[in-house]
């Protein structure tokens, strides 16, 4: 590529990125690549967040070593991804993602752009740092910390955008969204998380091309939902998804309700996301089963009411409703069974919580999903349903140490024996 910009090189004395704030594993990878004679840079959120004096979620590295060459240097390395091949260097729970500089692939073999202009494969290695930068999404995500001299290399005035707290695409905004419509969701995520403004050009591009999100596989959208709603800024992200009219691609049923001014659905979503954000701040566990259960509930209730009116018992009616609602949701985002099953259980426990008394009530305490279902009941109350006295009754019932022990034992039992390590979703780079 010929018309790539000359970067600004910010020397160590002029920026605040310090090795002390970089994880020792990331440093290990950076140094080893460098010592083997390869270029080796920290890039992406790692550099951006350190410049903002925030803790990066993870550390991504860019190098001119091919994935195979990276693998040869690290015993604990595995190669992943088809569309965008990467090396993962694994240190226990920490995974350092190492991406090889890509070259321009307009007519190469390893790259491909679909008819619609969407990037479907990007595996032509051997590019330069400048070529690596131009394929990234936002200016603030294309800054490189060079382990060789500790400078920060800035191609697209990312540092100025960080200072102005502005999200701007590299290059033509409209093309960037067409190449990868998920970048619209990434704009929302970063704006909410970093408290940045979204540049008008980005908003216009989203306006023009948001419909392309319909073509993104539901599994990839589910991964984005997790990052949007379960990273501690769920409430802001959700509000911004609505503002940019993107919610329809993630939660179509919820979007219709909110657009129609459904106050109950709105209150439920707000409360659930506020709770989720709070739990994350307090390092308590969160699960998509709960968030999905909340967002889909108003539709489930509506369908269940129809089945009850036709003579079904309340729990059966809820299951029939779930059978109708879940497929609509799955056409937008996937929801793995390990979440959809507990989601249904939370729903099915609602009528039981309303009715159970005495021994039945006590036995509900030992249901592994009791606590989530009870929290859900309280949320319904807070959202305006009149369930105050029932919530109170359950609160009192739980108070005794015996009850606490039963609930805790049931919860432990429901947890998988060995926690599976969550794999990082495959990065998708344009």
Chain contacts with ligand ATP (rule: CB under 6 A): 44-45, 57-58, 60, 136-137, 141-142, 180, 182-183, 427-430
* Annotated catalytic residue 207: no
Q: How far is the CB of 208 from ligand ATP (least distance, A)?
A: 18
* Annotated catalytic residue 375: no
Q: How far is the CB of 138 from ligand ATP (least distance, A)?
A: 7
Q: What angle do CA 253, 256, 259 make, to 5 degrees?
A: 145
| Catalytic choice (49, 137, 277, 299) | 137
Binding of Mg ion at residue 141 (CB under 5 A)?
A: no
- CB–CB of 271/379 below 8 Å? yes
Binding of Mg ion at residue 58 (CB under 5 A)?
A: yes
Q: Please, which residue, 242 or 429, has the CB nearer to ligand ATP?
A: 429
| Catalytic choice (58, 262, 375, 382) | 58
* Annotated catalytic residue 58: yes
Q: Please, which residue, 182 or 291, has the CB nearer to ligand ATP?
A: 182
Q: Please, which residue, 236 or 428, has the CB nearer to ligand ATP?
A: 428
Collapsed DSSP state (helix, strand, coil) of residue 62: strand
* C-alpha distance from residue 209 to each of 215, 239, 277 (Å): 11, 20, 30
| Catalytic choice (49, 60, 122, 180) | 60
Q: How far is the CB of 68 from ligand ATP (least distance, A)?
A: 21
E strands, 59-151, are 60-63, 77-80, 86-91, 94-100, 111-113, 119-122, 143-146
Using CB under 5 A, count the residues that bind Mg ion: 4
- Return the H-helix or E-strand segment holding 43: strand 40-43
- Look at the alpha carbons of 269, 275, 281, 284 in this order and tell me if their dihedral is positive or negative: negative
Residue showing the smallest CB distance to ligand ATP in the complex: 45
| Joined tokens for residue 212 | 């392309």
- Residue 299's binding partner among ligand ATP, Mg ion, none (Cβ under 5 to 8 angstroms by kind) is none
| Joined tokens for residue 294 | 């909340």
Which stretches of 331-430 are DSSP H helices? Answer: 337-355, 358-364, 370-382, 388-399, 401-414
Q: Name the residue with tokens 């800024």.
A: 233
Binding residues (CB under 5 A) for Mg ion: these are 44-45, 58, 60
Which of the residues are catalytic? 58, 60, 137
């Amino acid at each position: 590529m010929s018309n790539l910009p000359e970067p600004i090189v910010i020397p160590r004395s002029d920026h605040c990125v310090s090795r002390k704030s970089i994880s020792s594993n990331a440093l290990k990878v950076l140094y080893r690549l460098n010592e083997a004679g390869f270029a080796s840079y920290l890039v992406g959120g790692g550099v951006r967040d350190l410049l903002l004096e925030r803790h990066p979620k993870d550390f991504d590295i860019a190098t001119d070593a091919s994935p195979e060459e990276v693998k040869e240097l690290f015993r604990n390395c595995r190669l992943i991804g088809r569309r965008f091949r990467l090396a993962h260097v694994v240190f226990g729970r920490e995974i350092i993602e190492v991406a090889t500089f890509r070259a321009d692939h307009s007519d190469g073999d390893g790259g491909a752009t679909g008819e619609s202009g969407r990037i479907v494969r990007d595996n032509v290695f051997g590019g330069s740092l400048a070529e690596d930068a131009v394929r990234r999404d936002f200016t603030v995500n294309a800054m490189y910390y060079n382990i060789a001299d500790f400078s920060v290399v800035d191609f697209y005035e990312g540092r100025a955008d960080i200072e102005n707290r502005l999200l701007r695409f590299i290059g033509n905004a409209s093309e960037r969204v067409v190449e990868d419509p998920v970048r619209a969701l990434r704009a929302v995520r970063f704006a909410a998380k970093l408290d940045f403004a979204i540049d008008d050009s980005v908003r216009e591009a989203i306006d023009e091309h948001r419909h392309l999100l319909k073509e993104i596989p539901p599994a990839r959208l589910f991964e984005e939902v997790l990052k949007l709603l379960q990273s501690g800024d769920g409430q802001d992200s959700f509000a911004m998804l609505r503002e940019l009219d993107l919610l329809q691609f993630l939660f179509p049923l919820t979007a219709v309700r909110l657009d129609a001014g459904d106050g109950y659905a709105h209150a439920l979503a707000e409360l659930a996301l506020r709770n989720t954000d709070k739990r994350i701040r307090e390092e308590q566990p969160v699960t998509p089963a709960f968030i999905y259960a909340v967002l889909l509930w108003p539709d489930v209730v509506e369908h269940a009411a129809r089945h009850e009116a036709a003579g079904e018992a309340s729990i059966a009616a809820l299951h029939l409703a779930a059978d109708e609602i879940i497929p609509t949701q799955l056409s937008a985002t996937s929801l793995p069974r390990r979440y959809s099953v507990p989601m249904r259980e939370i729903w099915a426990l609602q009528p039981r919580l309303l009715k159970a008394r005495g021994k039945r009530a006590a036995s509900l305490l030992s249901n592994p999903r009791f606590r989530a279902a009870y929290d859900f009941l309280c949320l319904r109350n807070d959202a305006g349903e009149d369930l105050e006295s029932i919530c109170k009754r359950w609160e009192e019932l739980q108070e005794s140490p015996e009850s606490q022990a039963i609930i805790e034992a049931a919860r432990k039992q429901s947890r998988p024996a060995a926690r599976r390590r969550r794999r990082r979703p495959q990065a998708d780079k344009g």
